[in-house]
Amino acid sequence: MASKDQVIEIIHKVAAAIEREAQFLTDLDNAIGDGDHGINLSRGFKKVEEELPVVADKDIGAILKKVGMTLVSTVGGASGPLYGTAFMKAGDAVKDHVSISADDFIAVLEAAIGGVQLRGKAEKGEKTMLDAMLPALDAMKAAGTADAKAMLDAGVKAAKEGVEYTKTIIATKGRASYLGERSIGHQDPGATSFTVMLETIAEAI
Amino acid sequence: MVGIVIVSHSKTLAEGVVEFCRVMAAEAPLVAAGGMEDGSFGTSFERIKAAVESVNQGEGVLVLMDVGSAVMTTEMVLEDIGDDTVQMVDCPLVEGAIAAAVAAEGGLDFAAVKEEALSAWDARKL
């Protein structure tokens, strides 16, 4: 599906996408959270871009781990430990790899989601990033790994539906939970940022 | 003495809690880890880790946090340190900090200081 160089290129593209969507993500977070999601993630990925050349000669696992550690150190909000743990666990799933297959990508996403669940202790239906992540993983598994592009497109479609679903439910996790029923009608910023990342990956493959 | 770290998204909130505790326990090894490196709002892995190390006198360190990423970032710091005597305590931040600081200054051991912090759950105001 992707060589190491392509993975590095995709991380740069993800950073650019987060930068492009930073204001939108922050606006979403302003409505139901503490209004830092886009700003924080953008700061984190800027640092990631600075750090990427340092690990360019390492394997994909080490590169993803570095992305995670950088996000933990620089983001500052909940998305730091959540995406940080996700990327670090993703790195463990492709340790020593210099390329990744569609099957590897499923393993990467599964590990990343496991990391988010471990760190955030959230479940499906709590209006979090998991509401985009879990349906995306299910859809990609269902699509099968024979055609990586089709698999990713199925994942993006499901993630977008997951984002729409977050508009219909009450937040019971994170800062948005303080709003209770008033959180209905707003889409979750974390589910949205995950979808931006997955869509960027899908477009690059 | 048992060390205490106050983690908050807000630099001034963390420092304020420490200031409040100092009135009661001037000598307790107590430190604030609030905000990011540049003073902006958020929680910083490096600041929390440095704070824990600065108050660790070998008798354990308790970390009290506000919400969300303060808890998750602290959790990652503790996983990184990997020491059973450095723990988070789940209690009301201000009341728990005061109780823990007084107990630490009084020379109570790690388990007792933690118990004092947890006793803040029972300190009803009304």
As a whole number of angstroms, the distance between CA A110 and CA A138 comes to 10
The partner residue sitting opposite B73, judged by closest CB among A34, A81, A120, is: A81
Question: What pLDDT score was predicted for residue B42?
Answer: 95
B39 three-class SS: coil
Give the rounded percent of residues in chain A with a pLDDT score beyond 70. Answer: 100
B33 three-class SS: strand
The whole-number average pLDDT for the span B46-73 is: 97
Shortest Cα distance from A120 to chain B (angstroms)?
7
**Which tokens sit at A126?**
């709590």
Check CB contact of A162 with chain B, cutoff 8 Å: no
Question: What pLDDT score was predicted for residue A146?
Answer: 97
Domain with residue B61: its CATH number is 3.40.50.510
Residues of chain B numbered 65-124 and touching chain A (CB < 8 Å)? 67-69, 72-73, 75-76
Quick one: pLDDT band at residue B59, thresholds 50, 70, 90? very high
Largest CA distance in chain A: 49
**Which tokens sit at A8?**
């590095």
The residue type of A17 is: A
Contacts B72 to A, Cβ<8 Å: 78, 80-82, 119-120
Quick one: pLDDT band at residue A72, thresholds 50, 70, 90? very high
Q: What angle do CA B120, B123, B124 make, to 5 degrees?
A: 140
As a whole number of angstroms, the distance between CA B53 and CA B113 comes to 18
CA proximity to B17, closest of B69, B60, B70, B58 = B70
Q: Which domain holds residue B118?
A: 3-122
* Residue that the structure tokens 């959790």 belong to: B75
What's the domain count of chain B? 1
The whole-number average pLDDT for the span A40-46 is: 97
Is residue A190 within 8 Å of residue A129, measured between CB atoms?
yes
As a whole number of angstroms, the distance between CA A29 and CA A178 comes to 13
Question: What pLDDT score was predicted for residue A57?
Answer: 96
Look at B44 and A40 and tell me if their CB atoms are within 8 Å.
no
Check CB contact of A120 with chain B, cutoff 8 Å: yes
* Residue that the structure tokens 């990467």 belong to: A108
pLDDT tens-digit map of A5-18:
999 999 999 999 99
Quick one: pLDDT band at residue A192, thresholds 50, 70, 90? very high
CA proximity to B89, closest of B50, B124, B123, B117 = B117
pLDDT tens-digit map of B5-20:
999 999 999 999 999 9
The partner residue sitting opposite A175, judged by closest CB among B41, B68, B73, is: B68
Residue of B nearest to A175 (CA): B68
| C-alpha count within 13 angstroms, C-beta hemisphere, residue B24 | 18
pTM for the model stands at: 0.94
Torsions phi, psi for B88 (to 5 deg): -85, 150
The interface predicted TM-score of the complex, written ipTM, equals: 0.90
A35 three-class SS: coil
pLDDT tens-digit map of B70-120:
999 999 999 999 999 999 999 999 999 999 999 999 999 999 999 999 999
CA proximity to B64, closest of B35, B39, B98 = B98
